[in-house]
């Protein structure tokens, strides 16, 4: 099976979302920074507003620093993550390269991933650690944190079936 596709920033974001769901530790990490910190910030601000409304200025003074810290952490983490995702996406391609095409060729022996005009990577099935797929992205893990990402929409139904068959034949004892 040979496939040529364009990896967009949205596809890259989808791969990161699927990647964080593959491991309990990653899920907990993102839950803390995406849910807990913003929730604590909202509760702390509501508590400060309530203390101010009920005329307790001493309590407002005590809550002001934690409020600012929680809001700053919540906003800073989201801004930093957005910046890092864009930066990492840009680093996937050489500087000045406008074309974002990738090519991947898979058979029973190996997987050949190519960025035309730049380089290629050859992976044998014994080196593939895991496989993950959803409606937006398909990923073949080379290591625990490195993967080949292919937009699922770039695969036809026949190619999806062929890929699933390749994975079933060549990764029988590994996570699928």
- The model's pLDDT over 94-150, given as tens digits with 9 standing for 90+, comes to 777 777 889 999 999 999 999 887 889 999 999 999 999 999 999 999 999 899 999
133 pairs with which residues across the strands? Answer: 138
Residues ≥6 apart with Cβ < 8 Å to 125: 108, 109, 110, 111, 170, 171
Per-residue pLDDT band for 15 (boundaries 50, 70, 90) equals very high
Candidate CATH numbers 2.30.29.30, 3.60.21.10, 2.170.130.10, 3.40.1080.10; the one for domain 2-8+100-170: 2.30.29.30
Query: Does the structure show a pLDDT above 60 at 69?
Result: yes
Mean pLDDT confidence for 69-78? 91
State the average pLDDT over residues 165-170. Answer: 90
Label residue 157 exposed, middle or buried (CB < 10 Å: 0-12, 13-18, 19+).
exposed
The reported pTM is 0.81
CA 125, 93, 17, 136 torsion-angle sign: negative
Write down the pLDDT at residue 118.
81
Residue 6 has pLDDT above 70, yes or no: yes
């Amino acid at each position: 099976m040979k496939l040529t596709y364009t990896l967009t920033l949205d596809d890259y974001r989808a791969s990161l979302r699927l990647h964080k769901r593959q491991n309990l530790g990653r899920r907990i990490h993102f839950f803390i920074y995406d849910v807990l910190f913003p929730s604590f910030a909202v509760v702390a601000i509501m508590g400060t507003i309530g203390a101010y409304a009920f005329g307790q200025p001493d309590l407002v003074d005590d809550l002001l620093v934690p409020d600012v810290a929680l809001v700053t952490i919540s906003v800073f983490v989201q801004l930093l993550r957005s910046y890092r995702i864009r930066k990492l996406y840009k680093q996937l391609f050489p500087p000045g390269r406008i074309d974002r095409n990738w090519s991947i060729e898979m058979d029973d022996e190996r997987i050949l991933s190519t960025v035309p005009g730049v380089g290629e990577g050859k992976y044998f099935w014994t080196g593939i650690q895991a496989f993950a797929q959803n409606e937006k992205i398909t990923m073949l893990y080379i290591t625990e944190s490195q993967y080949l990402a292919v937009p699922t929409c770039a695969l036809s139904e026949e190619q999806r079936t062929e890929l699933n068959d390749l994975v079933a034949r060549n990764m029988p004892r590994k996570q699928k």
